[in-house]
A and B are shown apart, each in its own frame.
Chain A
Amino acid sequence: MRKKSIKQTQTQKKLLIHLAKKARWVRKKVLSMTVNAGAGHIAPSFSCIEILVVLYQGRVLRVKPNKPKWGYRDRFILSKGQAAVALYAILADRGFFPVSELKKFTRKGSYLGGHTEDTIPGVEAFTGSLGHGLSIGAGLALAAKMDKKKYRTIVLLGDGECHEGSVWEAAMFSAHHQLNNLIAIIDNNGLSATDFLKNYLEIKPLQKKWESFGWEVIVVDGHSYKALLSSLSGISSRHLSKRPLAIIALTTKGKGVSFMQNNPIWHYRIPVGKELKIAQKELTYIRREVR
């Protein structure tokens, strides 16, 4: 018994190290893609890298890169479409399309742009306009129930996005229809494009809000692989619940580069010169504790 648990711990440790490596690669890729393009959202992407890595590299989402439209795949919608650049890097790494395509990000003729489009292999929905993803996800989840299919629908939203009224229309709808196959992950970094949410339109208490809309809520550290994995471990047994699940991931916008962290001006800025050198250095050499 003890041997088994030791083995389990070792496999998990290996997985965590694997995820950390992937996250490091994605951050560096995001930086090089955006610098090369002179476009793209770095800080909003850095905020949800661990979430995306856990979903795609942590054996959470059931997807087949060689068959992107496989009927039983889990549906993932990046409702905060501005993090497209991070998703593209991960999708390419998983083999949905060649990694070489990443170099062309937003360049002439490329199909990879600043926001996700449904025609890209591995991308479900056209996003970029905020407040759309959860409704679409709820429609997909409802269809799964109608067709008695077992796929799960996971939607990643920003916390600033929760200012949109349509998010709450969808939240109400999902709870009413008992869409236990729908999971919303909220990237709760406390910032939006221009400022801290608390300075202009407070979104707190987020947990109570989702709970009062009839959702089951888990609050986790959004940069901890362990916490994210454990919060998502129950998604296979969601049929036991009658409620949709909201995972509030506490994150830091711009995570990974010291001067970008929690600084609103980095929502849509690309580092140049000295800034770029520091960013590259920090992403390459600073080893963070794997948790």
Chain B
Amino acid sequence: MKRWVKGMRDAFFESLYQQARTNKNIILVTADTGAVCHDKFKKHLRSQYINVGIAEQNMVGIAAGLAMAGKIVYIYAIIPFVTMRCYEQIRVDLCCMGLPVTIVGIGAGFDYSTLGPTHHGTEDLALMRALPAMTIYSPADSIMADLFVKLSLTQKGPLYIRLDRTGFPLVYKKRLNKEKINIDQGLSVLKRGKDICIISTGRMVYSALQIAKKLSTYSINAEVIDLFRIKPLPKKVLWDKIKNVKYVATIEEHFITGGIGTAIAEMIAVKKQSPLLKFFGIPNRFCRRYGTREDLYNINRISIEDIVRAIKKWIRK
């Protein structure tokens, strides 16, 4: 039975709201982008909520100034606008100065499937990965999104959190209760297996589990890893998990260029012996077709069926 829960955006901001009620240093800055929970901020924590208007460059500068004065700042907008529109401000004001500002991007991959390429979050990981001092977290469900709030409160430098707008089933079920998730490790093994290791992040972790389930009907035993910290990449732990596996597949809702697949490839390329690697992600072109998020997965050949078929073919060769 599928258990649908509130989206990670709502979980994140609800948790942030609870923290902000007791910690007056927490400031939420948005560039005219809303969320259900923001109404609570506006109503009850007015002095801790700032809408800078449709001005992302200024938003980053304001956040930098506030952080310099000791505030714990969160800036929030749709992914392309909060990462690309103000990229140079993030680079200089936040990264060069190492300021503890959390950038919250909403709409990973094709989350805004009907709004077109301007609103697709398909390059953000590549961009944020390139910045020194940046830390990147990509939660797979609302349980993780909630955990990252506490983490962000004590973060020393800039942090980017990539969120989903819509709700989908929990990946971290109740039996994996919050205490058992090792946040510091940077990844979680969600399913054990020996034939292939599937590494994924964000919403695609849910797809990866479905893919593993389908592969098992073809006697392919897949391991599933949720890579929730993308930068700094948990290299040592990750290498321990994949060094003895023959096949490694990465699945992400991001351009293959510069995403988690590329990050892992950079890591294993310098090893003497490495597993075979296959990338599943969005090809490097703008998706000019519309539909639901799943429709766009189909168009870009990253649906569960597409990936199962490709992996089967790859391993059976």
Residues of chain A having any CB pair with chain B under 8 Å = 117-118, 124-129, 131-132, 134-144, 146-147, 165-166, 169-170, 172-173
Contacts and interface: CB of A to CB of B under 8 A. Distances in A.
A8 to B, nearest CB: 36
B113 interface: no
Nearest to B70: A143
A173 B55 CA distance: 9
Contact of A142 (B53, B60, B65): B65
Nearest to B62: A139
Contact of B61 (A128, A138, A146): A138
Contacts of B102: none
- Nearest first, the 5 A-B pairs at minimum CB distance are A139-B65, A135-B61, A143-B69, A169-B58, A169-B55
A140 B55 contact: no
Contacts of A129: 88, 92
Nearest to B86: A166
Given A129-B88, A169-B58, A139 B96 contact: no
Contacts of B66: 139-140, 142-143
Given A139-B64, A139-B66, A172-B55, 19 more contacts: A126-B97, A128-B92, A129-B88, A129-B92, A132-B89, A135-B58, A135-B61, A135-B93, A136-B62, A138-B58, A138-B65, A139-B61, A143-B65, A143-B66, A143-B70, A147-B69, A166-B58, A169-B55, A173-B58
A140 to B, nearest CB: 4
A117 B98 CA distance: 12
Given A132-B89, A139-B63, A169 B57 contact: yes
Contacts of A118: 96-97
B166 to A, nearest CB: 31
Interface string B273-308: 000000000000000000000000000000000000
A282 B64 CA distance: 42
Contact of A141 (B50, B55, B65, B97): B65
Contacts of B52: 169, 173
B68 A124 contact: yes
A177 to B, nearest CB: 8
B47 interface: yes
A141 B65 CA distance: 8
Contacts of B92: 126-129, 132
B71 interface: yes
11 contacts: A124-B68, A126-B96, A126-B97, A132-B92, A135-B58, A135-B65, A138-B62, A139-B66, A166-B58, A170-B58, A173-B53
Contacts of B96: 117-118, 126
B90 to A, nearest CB: 11
A291 to B, nearest CB: 35
Nearest to B95: A126
A138 B88 CA distance: 18
A139 B69 contact: yes
A172 to B, nearest CB: 7
Nearest to A75: B68
Interface in B42-78: 47, 50, 52-53, 55, 57-58, 60-71
B61 A170 contact: yes
A171 to B, nearest CB: 9
Nearest to B64: A136
Interface in B175-224: none
A165 B89 CA distance: 13
A273 to B, nearest CB: 37
Contacts of A125: 64, 68, 93, 97
Contacts of A134: 61
Given A165-B57, A166-B57, A173 B69 contact: no
Q: Which interface residue of B53, B62, B65 has the most chain A CB atoms within 10 A?
A: B65
A173 B70 CA distance: 20
A63 to B, nearest CB: 15
